[in-house]
Structure 1
Amino acid sequence: MPHRDPKSDAESPYEHLIEHVHDAVVEFELVDGEPLVRDANRAFVDSFGYEVTAIRGESLNDWIVPEWLLGEAERLDQQTGVGEINYQRVKRETDTGLREFLYRGIPYSRDDRSVDGFAVYTDITDLTRQQHRLQVLNRVLRHNLRNESNLIIGHTGRLLEQLPEQSGEWTGAAATIERAADSLSSLAREAGEIDAVLSDTDVADVVDSVPLVEAVVEEHRQRTPRADIDTDLPGAMRVRGNRHLRSAINSVVENAIEHNPAPAPIVRAIVRTFDEGWAEIRIDDDAPRIPADERAILTGDLEATQTQHGSGLGLWLVKWAAESYGGELTFGESDFGGNSVRIRLPRP
């Protein structure tokens, strides 16, 4: 693909590559605007279910394009005919029904000036369906978690107001319910922030990380005055990032305070150069260490299972935000004997 000289059975490295890639590849010749199949690789046969001998010399559109999508296919063929490369998500017909593909139409001209082309199809059916299902589940679960937890918090608060002071056992039970509902509400909020990070199509920009850290620290100083929150910051530190970086920093500081049973949690926010071309936003605390298994899951050294999956979504938000900027999340031990959570990001 292109055809070998019939006098030679030698296969070129290029032909060997095309034959063994996982994407379906069809070589065709445009004749009066119609793509006639010249050859196809094994992945095409596996994806569409049609043998090359059955479709060679036939119109590719007749075999794989549903009638109601023929106009779309003809427009793509016209663009190929004038030398344009096409990229589009398309639905095509296989021997088992419709599937969704990422289509690339790549034209090339032969010596006789006629236009040939390659049609490359990457099957994204399962990925697309999984994305849609996860989006629906995410939205429904977040909506229900938020609404139901707010309902529980509201009624539990009213219950606590009505309980007599001497009913210590019942008061403790109601307070436990209130804390659990508040935790569910936070979980729904974190899930929403993660969805925003993962669905954001904007290219990471350049931001000054220092004002973001200062804003987060000031917010938590006001919200939790019992915490001892210190900073070690330069005048500025520009890094790759966008509007979600503040949420990631906030999540680490929030964890450092909320998961610390000490009466006055110690937190230190540090921004520094880490290596040539890299910066590090580091949040140190004196809280109990994040379990080793949870750290290993977050860094990818251990697979998440039903019984070993981490305690929440906050650090996943940090991890995926950092990775979306080309950075990473790492862990160490702080000078206080607690956690040192480090967001490493490229510098412009």
Structure 2
Amino acid sequence: MARDLTGRRDDGSGDRYRHLIEHVQDAVVEFELVDGEPLVRDVNDSFVEIFGYDADDIRGESLNDWVVPEWKLEEARALDANTGAGEVNYRNVTRKTATGLREFLYRGVPYGTDGPSTNGFAVYTDLTELSRNERRLEVLNRILRHNIRNSANVVAGHTARLLNELDRQDEETTDVAATIERAAHELERLAEEAGHIRHVLNHRPDEAADVDLASVVRSVADEYRQGSPSAEVTLDLGGSEPVIADSRLRYAVDALVDNAITHNPSPKPRVRVRVDPERDADGDGRAGEWVVVHVEDDGPLIPPDERNVVLDEAEITQTRHGSGLGLWLAELTVETFGGELSFGTSDLGGNDVRIRLRRR
């Protein structure tokens, strides 16, 4: 049987693979290395769309001449040398298109290395917008966190001094100053939670890691008992077990306890943190694969719109995005560990926000 350019026998499989390549969204180039130079044999429609070069113009030409900036030629030749040696390449690269430079994940896949020349595929996944957005978010995150935290510290500090010097008989002025102080502390909390979110998103979890739920929950509860003595924080840790997570799990538990206290208008908010291992569905009483942490309160129910946005069940808009970062922090943290955040009602009369995690 004859073989096509991919080295497969002409038994119909080549047509199937080519059909697949033509419909993938990544730019794909089929090339042949001739004296170390990758000559284009064919390109898919996505390459034409992304790079802006006509397929008839680039066939038979050096791929490097068309897509590699001059100052990146040494890098490209090193990748070509790896391909010629039969190695698969993975690298983030900058390449030129008809409209300018763009960033790609490049994968060079050789085939047909047993003959006098080497053929290969160059696959380019466009990362331009993703990379730019990541950089923009990083800049915004750093600037906003720094400026918000600094300004909030200034406001909170001066307001505390103002409260100490105010005539306590002027209740209206005192209330205004106290409101300003609370708002400043909320800004400080937002900056802190934004930093935690960044830490969650920027670090992959260690798949081998586990944490003891009892230790995490107990530590958070102790902190709020000291910092918010008016709140009643109780624990039920009878079912606590190690779960697949790392130390960042504390962010989620802390955020939910903080929400339960902060958004409760009662002079003595009640919060109960309960750990409940799920049981196998066969009813034999054995522990199942999952453990649920319940953070319950007696405060107002979280609005459905806010819950739905956090759970990706509703679109984020200017008026529908959540009142703070606490629920977002909890959701993103739990998601990182392959778990789930969900909402219900508690017999305390308020919310039951649940963190479901796999047991170790």
Q: TM-score, normalised by structure 2?
A: 0.92
Deviation sequence 1:215-251 (CA, Å, 0-9, x none): 1112112222332222111364111111210111111
Residue 51 in 1 paired to residue 54 in 2? yes
Q: Which amino acid aligns with 1:165?
A: R
The one of 46, 67, 90 aligned to 1:87: 90
- Looking at structure 2, the residues matched to 62 and 172 of structure 1 have their Cα atoms a distance apart, in angstroms, of 70
Q: How does 1:217-256 map to 2 (within 5 A)?
A: 217-234=221-238, 236-256=240-260
- Looking at structure 1, the residues matched to 11 and 156 of structure 2 have their Cα atoms a distance apart, in angstroms, of 78
Residue 288 in 1 paired to residue 300 in 2? yes
The one of 22, 26, 30 aligned to 1:27: 30
Deviation at 1:165, TM superposition (A): 2.2
Contact in 1 for aligned 2:153/2:188 (Cα 8 Å): yes
What's the counterpart of residue 283 of structure 2?
Answer: none
Q: Please, which moves more after superposition, 132-141 or 153-162?
A: 153-162
- Looking at structure 1, the residues matched to 100 and 289 of structure 2 have their Cα atoms a distance apart, in angstroms, of 50
Deviation at 1:267, TM superposition (A): 1.3
The one of 71, 74, 77 aligned to 1:71: 74
Relative distance call for 1:99 and 1:13 in structure 2 (3 A) is same
Q: Which amino acid aligns with 2:349?
A: G
The one of 310, 323, 327 aligned to 1:311: 323
Residue 213 in 1 paired to residue 217 in 2? yes
- Looking at structure 2, the residues matched to 224 and 181 of structure 1 have their Cα atoms a distance apart, in angstroms, of 17
Residue 177 in 1 paired to residue 180 in 2? yes
Q: SS in structure 1 opposite 2:244?
A: strand
Q: Which amino acid aligns with 2:308?
A: A
- Looking at structure 2, the residues matched to 3 and 39 of structure 1 have their Cα atoms a distance apart, in angstroms, of 11
Contact in 1 for aligned 2:205/2:336 (Cα 8 Å): no
Identity of aligned residues (%): 54
Deviation sequence 1:179-207 (CA, Å, 0-9, x none): 11111111111111111111113434222
- Looking at structure 2, the residues matched to 8 and 274 of structure 1 have their Cα atoms a distance apart, in angstroms, of 53
Deviation at 1:304, TM superposition (A): 1.4
Contact in 1 for aligned 2:29/2:40 (Cα 8 Å): yes
Q: SS in structure 2 opposite 1:329?
A: strand
Contact in 2 for aligned 1:29/1:36 (Cα 8 Å): yes
- Looking at structure 2, the residues matched to 325 and 202 of structure 1 have their Cα atoms a distance apart, in angstroms, of 7
Residue 99 in 1 paired to residue 102 in 2? yes
**Alignment gaps of 5+ in structure 2:** 280-287
Relative distance call for 1:225 and 1:164 in structure 2 (3 A) is closer
Residue 322 in 1 paired to residue 334 in 2? yes
- Looking at structure 2, the residues matched to 247 and 111 of structure 1 have their Cα atoms a distance apart, in angstroms, of 55
- Looking at structure 1, the residues matched to 213 and 182 of structure 2 have their Cα atoms a distance apart, in angstroms, of 33
What's the counterpart of residue 13 of structure 1?
Answer: 16
Q: How does 1:134-149 map to 2 (within 5 A)?
A: 134-149=137-152
Q: Which amino acid aligns with 1:145?
A: I
Residue 339 in 1 paired to residue 338 in 2? no
Q: How many residues align structurally?
A: 347
What's the counterpart of residue 194 of structure 2?
Answer: 191
Contact in 2 for aligned 1:2/1:15 (Cα 8 Å): no
Deviation at 1:29, TM superposition (A): 0.8
Q: Please, which moves more after superposition, 45-54 or 89-98?
A: 45-54
**Alignment gaps of 5+ in structure 1:** none
Relative distance call for 1:284 and 1:10 in structure 2 (3 A) is closer
Q: Which amino acid aligns with 1:139?
A: R
Relative distance call for 1:2 and 1:271 in structure 2 (3 A) is farther
